[in-house]
Structure 1
Amino acid sequence: MMGLKDIAIKMASIYQENRNVEAVLLAGSVSRGWEDKHSDIELNIFWSESPTDEDRMHPIQTIHGSVIDFHPFEEEEWAESYLTPENVKLEISSFLTSTAETWINDVVNEFDIDYGKQCMVSSIYYGQSLYGDPVIDSLKNKVQIYPDQLAEKMIEENLALWYRWNNRKALLDRKDWLMLYDLMGAVQKKLMGTLFGLNKLYIHHPSFKWIHKYSEIFTIKPKNMDERFSAIYLGDAHNSVQELELLIEEVFLLAEKHYPHLPFLNEYKEKMDFVRPENKV
């Protein structure tokens, strides 16, 4: 029985038959050895010129696959997903090679924190070349060094937590659970964004998939991070808010320890200390 990587290699051999395909990259969990029974195969296809719908459909038709989604060109990407006859799902993201080079420059040299661009950069950093080694190697060489300036922008953007977090006590008292848990999820994502910056790692997924894995990968992190992040959704809401307050404080301390020169940290801490007051009338 073929494994997911074997299927990916087979599909890459079909894509490379198109003369406009310059490279095929295996991305996602399969590229990192993290696949499980729920995993699909993620392939990034790099083109010398824009693929037609026929170009995109040909590999699917060749294996007698069934289309799940087939999106038009948007945000510099062509995306589709389909099932093989064996019921294995493939997620395809196609880009012009020139777009990949532009996005890499935006992130690595212009310090653009855009998560979509970082996700591509992350897939290039961790992904496995299935075709077009010279192209993939060239792209990989450009993303090897994570710039300090990008880390600083990630910290600045994500530690600005106070806008909604200051309302947490009111939401607790009102038992406004939907808003409260939405808020706690948003704050956790901000903390994750900060930690990715502190650890100088490109964002791999906009919703921070594989948090358990990254809790192991991070070298700069709160103590018992994985267990504490998970417990926020499993325990009493009051305890969860208190735990999240502690996590925020610890992440601030980590930012101060590793980037003490950042000018906005004191201002951020003062704003974080504010809690929406109760009316006295």
Structure 2
Amino acid sequence: MNHESEWRLAKGKQVAALYAKNPKLRALVVAGSVGRGWADEWSDIELDLFWNEPPTDDDRKSAIEGVNGTIAYYFPLEGDEWSDAYFVDGLKFEISSFLVSTLEQYIADVIERCDDTVEKHLRLAALQNSIVLHGDELIQQWRAKISNYPDALAEKIIRDNVDFGGWNSVEFAFARGDLLMAFDLMTKVQKQVMMVLLALNRMYMGHPRGKWLRHVADGMQYKPPRLAERMMYALREGSEQSAREMHGVIEETFALVEQYFPQIDLTDIKRDVRFRRARISA
């Protein structure tokens, strides 16, 4: 854990102790970059709270008042989550509250029914990559259940993401200077590649926009060589050459899928990705 994570964690423990006094609270973890030990000077502190029954305003605001926090936002129940955020001495705390029964339903949906809903996978990734500050027994039970990543779920996610439609237009988009189109296709396909590789590695998606690329890639066993370096190069360089480098990542991803999921037929998908429009002029 780096220094920026360590001192933020210490602050998080102080706030967590106030929430933990409430008998309705079953468990609490530090999630996000602090929970993973990856924080930097821009990082906030994310606390995920799991309640036995719906928290009241008093339940949620008592800790804020206890640290003289300045509320940035405060939302009622939206979907399955109560969310709020506040500042303490300039440091932002983001709080996500869920019922214990909600998380148990998420776990059953993903593990038993191969549900690939993004929000559910985000929550499971946070459970796996967090620091427990309250309710360790429950969190460890949940972690044991979600460690059994189903093969059928991996196959479903790969099938849903491995068709990199539009990739065959990236090189000519850079060549003609259509940068908005080129980068739109580049980022779309990079996110799909990461989804395929996450599934191959039985890893839950930790962020919907591809945050922590280097760290996540480092944690993968099955991946193209120098994955993060090559993907970052493709974004920073933004050229036909960098698109060809990213194409190499795609081809190597195809090879991994064929090695570990030979039942997935990539023939048509590879043909489409490899197609290049000819330059024609009179």
Task: Calculate the TM-score normalised by the size of structure 1.
Answer: 0.91
Task: Find the counterpart in structure 2 of residue 23 from structure 1.
Answer: 27
Task: Find the counterpart in structure 2 of residue 141 from structure 1.
Answer: 144
The aligned runs of 1:1-281 (5 Å cut-off) are: 3-84=7-88, 86-162=89-165, 164-262=166-264, 264-275=265-276
Task: Find the counterpart in structure 1 of residue 3 from structure 2.
Answer: none
The Cα of 1:89 is off from its aligned counterpart by 1.3
The Cα of 1:173 is off from its aligned counterpart by 4.4
Tell me if structure 1 keeps the 8 A contact 2:46–2:94. Answer: yes
Q: Deviation digits for residues 44-81 of structure 1, max 9, x if unmatched? A: 10011222233222211111011112223223111111
Tell me if structure 1 keeps the 8 A contact 2:71–2:86. Answer: yes
Between the aligned partners of 1:240 and 1:71, the Cα distance in structure 2 is 43
Q: Deviation digits for residues 207-242 of structure 1, max 9, x if unmatched? A: 121111122211111112121111112225111221
Question: 1:95/1:277 Cα in 2 relative to 1: closer, same or farther (>3 Å)?
Answer: farther
In the alignment, structure 1 segments of 5+ residues that lack a partner are none
Tell me if structure 1 keeps the 8 A contact 2:170–2:182. Answer: yes
The Cα of 1:133 is off from its aligned counterpart by 2.0
Q: Deviation digits for residues 74-133 of structure 1, max 9, x if unmatched? A: 23111111111x222111111011110111111111111222111100111122221112
Between the aligned partners of 1:168 and 1:136, the Cα distance in structure 2 is 44
Please list every run of at least 4 consecutive aligned residues from structure 1 whose deviation after the TM superposition is greater than 4 angstroms.
275-281
Q: Secondary structure at the match of 1:109?
A: helix
Task: Calculate the TM-score normalised by the size of structure 2.
Answer: 0.91
Between the aligned partners of 1:67 and 1:275, the Cα distance in structure 2 is 53
Tell me if structure 1 keeps the 8 A contact 2:193–2:253. Answer: yes
Q: Deviation digits for residues 159-209 of structure 1, max 9, x if unmatched? A: 1111x3243345234421112111101111111111101111111111121
Between the aligned partners of 1:274 and 1:74, the Cα distance in structure 2 is 45
In the alignment, structure 2 segments of 5+ residues that lack a partner are 1-5
